[in-house]
A and B are shown apart, each in its own frame.
Chain A
Amino acid sequence: MSPNPDSAARPMPRSDQGAILSAQPLTSIAVLLVAAGLIGFGGAVTYGATSRAWEAFLVNLLFWLGVAQGGVVLSAAFYLTQGRWAGRAHYRLAEAFSGFLILGFILFWALYFGRIWIFPWIRHPIPAKSGWLNVPFLFARDGIALFVMTVLSLSFIAASRSEPARKWAETTANIVMPPKTVRRLAPAVAICFVAVYTLLSFDLVMSLSPLWRSTLFGWWYFAGAFWSAVVTMTFTACCLSSVLGAGNAFTHSRVLHDMGKMIFAFSIFWVYTLFAQYIPIWYADIPVETFFVVVRTQYMPWAFLSWLTLTLVWVTPFLVLLGIRPKRTPFILGTVALLGMCGIWLENYVLVVPSLSPRTIPFGWVEILVTAGFAGAFWLCSYPGLKLASAAATEPIAELH
C-alpha cells in the first residue's frame, strides 16, 4: 500500500463555488483558427502546394480523430474496470472530445478529393495488391467501419450520460455493476475500436508505402491513439483544475496521480509494441521491410523527428513520471501531457509524410495553418462535452472503499 497523504478515509471537500467553464475567449479564438485553417488549406491548393495541404490534412485528421475516439474508448475502459476514482468527472472528461467524431467522419470523406496526392498506389498501381488497394473498396470499407464506430460511440456516450449511469458513478459504496446498456456497449466499443483503427492504420498510413507491411502496426497505432486520449484528458484536467473553483475533482492529488499512472503505463505499452515491430525488422534485415524504418530513423532529415517522437512519447513520460510527486503536481503532469500530445501528432507526421516526401520535411505555413484549423474545430466540437465535465468536476467525489 503506498502512503497517501490525503487519506482516502476522509470525504473529499465540496466545491462551494463551482465555476462554469467560460466559452470566451477560447471559442472566438477557435473560430479564428478554423478560418485560418480554411484559408491556409485553400491557399495551399491554389498556389501549388496541394500535396502538402493534403498531407497536413491527413496527419491532422488521424491525430484529432484518434484523440476523440480514444477518449470514448477510455471511458469504456473505465466502465469495464468499474473505475469510480473521480466520481463522474473522469467519465465526462474522457467523453468530452467525442463531439469531434461526427466532424471527423465527414472530413474522412473529404480525403476522396485529395486521393491522388495521398495514395501513391493510384498513380502507380500495384497489380498484386489491386484487389485491396483500390479507391472504391478503400473508401467503402473505411467509410462503413468509421460509420459503425461513430454510431456505436455516440450510443455508448448517450448511455454513459443517462441517469442510471450517472447514479452508478457517483458512489463507490457498493459493488454493483454499471447499468446493463453500458455493460453491453462498453466492450463493443473497445472491440470495434481495435478492429476499425487497425483497418484505418493499414489503409491510411501503411498503404502510403504500399510495399511495406508490419503485422503489429495496427495494434501499435491504436495504442498510440488511446494514449493520445489519455494525455489530452490529463492536460485538460490540469488546465481545468486551475480554471474551475477550488476543490474541484481535478485538484485532488490522487485523481492526478491516477491519470499520471495511466500516462506512464500506456507510454510503456506504446514503446513496447513499437520495439516489437522494430526488432524483427532489424534481425531479418530484409530491404522490403527495412526501407520504411531506415528512411525515418537512420537518415536525415527524418531521423531527428523520429527520435524526437520517441523522446516525447516515451522517454519524457517515463523519466519524469516515475516518482509520486511529479504525478501529483499539475504543472509537471500537464507539461508532460502536452508534450505527449505533440509527440503523437509528430508520430502521425513521421508515419505519413516521409512516405510521400522522403528527402525533405515539408513544414511551413501550410502545415501550421491546417493544424490550427483542426485544433480550432476540435475545441469547438469539444466545448459542450467540456462543460459537462466541468459540471461533474465540481461535485464531491465519494470516498473510496
Chain B
Amino acid sequence: MSPEVELVGAFTNEESLLGCVERLRQARARFRVYSPIPMPHVNAAIYQRPSFVRWWVLLGGITGAVSAFVLTIGTSLEWNLVAGGKPIASLPPYIIIAFEMMVLFGGISAVLGWILLSNLPTFEPLSGYRSRFTADEFGVVVRCAEDETPRLESMLREAGAQDISREAA
C-alpha cells in the first residue's frame, strides 16, 4: 500500500469551496475543511448524520431527572418533614428540582460530549492548517494514497483551488 499524503488546497470564495466539497464527498475522499467563517451550507454538505452529542444530552438529562427524584424522595423519607398534612414524599414540588437538574446535567453533558467528541483539547494545529485559513481564505485538506494524488489534485484544481501543496501525512 502506497504511503499517504495530504493535499492542501486554498479557495478564495464560498461557491468554489462548496463545489469542491461536493465533488470530494461523491468521490468518498477523506478531507477536512478550514474556514474563517461559519458556513451552514458547507457544514450540511460535509456532515450527513446528526451529531452524537445529542445522545450525551439525552443521557445527561435523564440522569439528572432521576438523580433529582432519588435525592428529594430519599432525603424526605430519611428525614420526615410533615407540611400541611401532605405526603412525606410529595412529587409536585420535586418536579421543579428534577427539571432543574435535568437541564443542568443535560447542559454539562452537552459540553463534555462536545469536548470529547471533538478530540479536544488539541495543542498542536491539525495538519494542513495555514494561518490564512482563519483570515481570508478557505482551506481543503485531502488525505489520500500517493497514487491517488494526480486524480484528486486535478479535482481540486478544477474546483477552483488557488494553490495546491503536498505534505506528508
A-side residues, CB < 8 A to B, are: 1-5, 7-9, 275, 278-279, 282-283, 285, 324
> Are B92 and A3 in touch, CB under 8 angstroms?
no
Contacts of A3 in B (CB 8 A): 43-44, 47-51
> Are A279 and B38 in touch, CB under 8 angstroms?
no
A-B contact list, 26 entries, CB within 8 Å? A1-B38, A1-B43, A2-B50, A3-B43, A3-B44, A3-B49, A3-B50, A3-B51, A4-B44, A5-B44, A7-B44, A7-B45, A8-B40, A8-B41, A9-B18, A9-B44, A278-B92, A279-B92, A279-B93, A279-B96, A282-B92, A282-B93, A283-B84, A283-B93, A285-B85, A285-B86
> Are B86 and A8 in touch, CB under 8 angstroms?
no
> Are B38 and A324 in touch, CB under 8 angstroms?
no
> Are A4 and B95 in touch, CB under 8 angstroms?
no
Q: Which of these, B50, B84, B86, B96, contacts A324 with CB under 8 Å?
A: B50
Residues 19 to 44 of chain B near chain A (Cβ within 8 Å): 38, 40-41, 43-44
- The interface bits of chain B over 40-74 (1 if a CB of A lies within 8 angstroms of the residue's CB, else 0) are 11011101111100000000000000000000000
- A285 CA to B90 CA, complexed, in Å: 13
- A1 CA to B46 CA, complexed, in Å: 12
- A385 CA to B41 CA, complexed, in Å: 35
Contacts of A275 in B (CB 8 A): 95
CB closest chain-A residue, reference B92: A282
A319, chain B: closest CB distance, angstroms: 12
B156, chain A: closest CB distance, angstroms: 20
Known contacts A2-B50, A3-B49; is-contact A285 B92 (Cβ 8 Å): no
Contacts of A282 in B (CB 8 A): 92-93
- A1 CA to B18 CA, complexed, in Å: 17
- The interface bits of chain B over 117-139 (1 if a CB of A lies within 8 angstroms of the residue's CB, else 0) are 00000000000000000000000
Contacts of A283 in B (CB 8 A): 84, 93
Given contacts A278-B92, A279-B92, A285-B85, could you give 6 more A-B pairs where the C-beta distance is less than 8 Å? A1-B38, A2-B50, A3-B48, A8-B40, A8-B41, A324-B50
- A8 CA to B47 CA, complexed, in Å: 14
Contacts of B95 in A (CB 8 A): 275
A315, chain B: closest CB distance, angstroms: 14
- A171 CA to B48 CA, complexed, in Å: 27
Contacts of A5 in B (CB 8 A): 44, 48
> Are A1 and B48 in touch, CB under 8 angstroms?
no
Contacts of A4 in B (CB 8 A): 40, 44
- A69 CA to B39 CA, complexed, in Å: 39
Contacts of B51 in A (CB 8 A): 2-3
Residue of A1, A283, A285 contacting most chain B CB atoms (<10 Å): A1
Q: Which of these, B41, B49, B85, B92, contacts A7 with CB under 8 Å?
A: B41
Known contacts A9-B18, A285-B86, A324-B50; is-contact A1 B92 (Cβ 8 Å): no
Contacts of B86 in A (CB 8 A): 285
Contacts of B48 in A (CB 8 A): 3, 5
Q: Which of these, B45, B47, B84, contacts A285 with CB under 8 Å?
A: B84
Residue of B38, B92, B93 contacting most chain A CB atoms (<10 Å): B92
Known contacts A285-B84, A324-B50; is-contact A8 B44 (Cβ 8 Å): yes
